[in-house]
Chains A and B, each alone.
Chain A
Amino acid sequence: MDPKQFNTQILTLSDKLFRLAKSILRDAEAAQDAVQELSMKLWEKRNKLDEVENVSAFTMRAMRNLCLDTLRQRRDEDELVPEMEFVEPNPHQQTEQKDLAARVRKMIDELPELQRTIIRMRDVEEMELSEIAYVTSLTENAVSVNLSRARQKIREKIIYEQKRVEETIWKR
């Protein structure tokens, strides 16, 4: 892959790669560093990229693997337990999360890494199940199951929060 091809095929994915890295790492700066690191690694191995059938999916997969390595390195510090239950926000947090979109974003961020990666690849990046299966090294069926779990959890959280809001209104 020559520099021109590299610029058009890899660097144009930078926003998509950034969103994926940010979703996994839950940190914009760390995500930016990860994207830079990946682009350097890919540039060093650009000759091998000619053999790749789907460059976009391959790059996304490399991005996820790099982010997972980063998470493993700091697992003890801040990564949530994969099956962690939704923690009810305290009144202070509720005030901070007035913005509905921000609340939903937080709900997604609280999902286990695999589920939040899959739901965003599907609902934000609009990727085919086969592509997501390649990026996550899962079968398409496993992707569907995780996607369904992720969406169900978000739905439960939304309904739970809605009930709380209604209860608060009735108490007034």
Chain B
Amino acid sequence: MEKMNELLKKYFNGETTLTEELELKSYFLSGDINAEHELYRPLFETFEEEKCETAFEPLKKVATKQTKIKHIWIKTVSYSGMAAAIVLALWIQRPQQSENYAIIHGQRIDDPEYVQRYAEKKINDMNERIQNGLKPLKNMEAVKENIRDAREKGTLKNEITESDKTGNINN
């Protein structure tokens, strides 16, 4: 009791050593305090509480260069992977409606029967045009045949003339 009074007097005069202050703290935190000293208990409890207070966001450790590069690579690969996954997901989930359609005169047509009929009609039209386009060529074939006949006759006549001169047809 007397000792504690003496220590408290020294404490408030700023004359205690660290060891003496530790002794005071353990006395006030022991729970067995003289009623006279109860007054100062909150002071020493506060110091003890504050000692346990920590930074709510501890400082981050400094990374070496090697680990930084490693982290950049990991990040790059991760982001690339995520981007690829998003593209794949969008491709898989794209609307089925957009698979079969045609653009006719600048308009999107989703009715497959209409598109088929339209295509067939266009193909038939094209065939007809091709056939009509070939008609003049048939006449040309007839002309070519006549010319070929005339040439053959001319050649034969010449051959006969030559054989008359030599007496040998096969030469």
- Please list the residues of chain A having a beta carbon within 8 angstroms of any beta carbon in chain B: 3, 6-7, 10-11, 14-15, 17-19, 22, 28, 32, 35-36, 39, 43, 100-101, 103-105, 108, 120, 122-126, 128, 144-145, 147-149, 151-152, 154-155, 158-159, 162
Contacts and interface: CB of A to CB of B under 8 A. Distances in A.
A32 B55 contact: yes
Contact of A124 (B11, B15, B50, B57): B50
B57 A100 contact: no
28 contacts: A3-B64, A11-B62, A14-B58, A15-B54, A18-B54, A22-B53, A36-B59, A39-B59, A43-B62, A101-B42, A101-B46, A101-B49, A103-B42, A104-B43, A122-B21, A123-B21, A123-B47, A124-B51, A126-B21, A144-B14, A144-B15, A147-B14, A148-B13, A148-B15, A149-B14, A158-B40, A158-B42, A159-B39
A134 B59 CA distance: 24
Contact of A32 (B41, B43, B45, B56): B56
Nearest to A147: B14
A151 B11 contact: yes
A32 B58 CA distance: 9
Given A3-B63, A123-B47, A18 B55 contact: yes
Contacts of B54: 15, 18
Contacts of A39: 59
Interface of B: 11-15, 18, 21-22, 39-43, 45-47, 49-51, 53-59, 61-64
B18 A104 contact: no
A126 B57 CA distance: 23
Given A15-B53, A158-B39, A126 B45 contact: no
Given A104-B42, A151-B14, A154-B43, 13 more contacts: A10-B59, A11-B62, A14-B59, A18-B54, A18-B55, A35-B55, A36-B57, A100-B41, A101-B42, A101-B49, A104-B43, A105-B46, A149-B14
Nearest to A22: B53
Contacts of B59: 10-11, 14, 35-36, 39
Contact of A101 (B22, B45, B63): B45
Nearest to A158: B39
B45 A100 contact: yes
A145 B122 CA distance: 107
Nearest to A32: B57
A14 B55 contact: yes
Contacts of A43: 62
Given A19-B50, A39-B59, A43-B62, A162 B39 contact: yes
